[in-house]
Amino acid sequence: QITLKESGPTLVKPTQTLTLTCTFSGFSLSTTGVSVGWIRQPPGKALEWLALIYWDDDKRYSPSLKSRLTITKDTSKNQVVLTMTNMDPVDTGTYYCAHIRLERFWIVDYFHPWGQGIVVTVSS
Amino acid sequence: DIVMTQTPLSSPVTLGQPASISCRSSQSLVHSDGNTYLSWLQQRPGQPPRLLIYKISNRFSGVPDRFSGSGAGTDFTLKISRVEAEDVGVYYCVQGTQFPLTFGGGTKVEIK
């Protein structure tokens, strides 16, 4: 059974850097054909994909946020870390990590399962 | 970027009646490998999203058979044959064919 859980600060100040950790079980990111992604959701709004990391350490980012995002993995700890710099109140929302099922080792088939999410508020 | 447009924004439905949600992409979602990576998610109030359908019409394990997906190219539909109270929530389509991955704006299903 695959599970994921997000952790990190729930309140950050504008201009600060947010660091979120996704701790997972039931799979290994050292296994070929595995990926984990981050998605966020502003209050009352739609989902927005942020980034994903592949088992081979290849990474993909949302172009609109690429300059502010870094995704890394720690295979030994079964963790994926997302950092987002220069936080702004518009970045307030729930941040989710999810396991990604890949087709042919690199095509994103679907997100499943999702973590419970962590609510992050950006305010001074 | 591929823009995913969902309609309607809200769908009030009587219990036991059908519901239909449309998702239209700004470009074809057919991948060069021949597959179409369009999936549907359900998000119940206060819960994370849950996978319902993948590759247009494949129902995920444990998903009730009243949920079905159809479509091709740029036009896709999620149907609920008989809405139950537990189906209340927001439904999203998402494409994995091309980066950046993009979600539809969501359709809220509520009971009349």
B24-74: pLDDT as tens digits: 999 999 999 999 999 999 999 999 999 999 999 999 999 999 999 999 999
How confident is the model over B83-106, as a mean pLDDT? 98
pLDDT given for residue B28 in this prediction: 98
Q: How far apart are the first and last CA of chain B?
A: 36
User: How close is the nearest chain A Cα to the Cα of B24, in Å?
Assistant: 16
Q: Digits of tens for pLDDT over chain A (124 positions)?
A: 999 999 999 999 999 999 999 999 999 999 998 999 999 999 999 999 999 999 999 999 999 999 999 999 999 999 999 999 999 999 999 999 999 999 999 999 999 999 999 999 999 9
Q: How many CB pairs under 8 A join A and B?
A: 71
Three-state DSSP at B37 gives coil
Taking an 8 Å cut-off on Cβ atoms, the answer to whether B48 and A117 are in contact is: yes
Are residues B110 and B10 in contact, defined by beta-carbon separation less than 8 angstroms?
Answer: yes
Nearest residue, CB atoms, A110 vs list B48, B51, B100? B51
Taking an 8 Å cut-off on Cβ atoms, the answer to whether B48 and A96 are in contact is: yes
What are the tens digits of pLDDT across the range A40-66? 999 999 999 999 999 999 999 999 999
| Test mutation, B101, B103, B108, chain A, max A CBs within 10 A | B101
CA A51/CA A62 separation, integer angstroms: 6
State which residue of chain A sits closest to B90, comparing Cα positions: A46
CA A46/CA B103 separation, integer angstroms: 8
Three-state DSSP at A90 gives helix
Q: What is the 3-state secondary structure (H, E, C) of A98-124?
A: EEEEEECCCEEEEEEEECCCEEEEECC
Taking an 8 Å cut-off on Cβ atoms, the answer to whether A46 and B48 are in contact is: no
pLDDT given for residue A61 in this prediction: 98
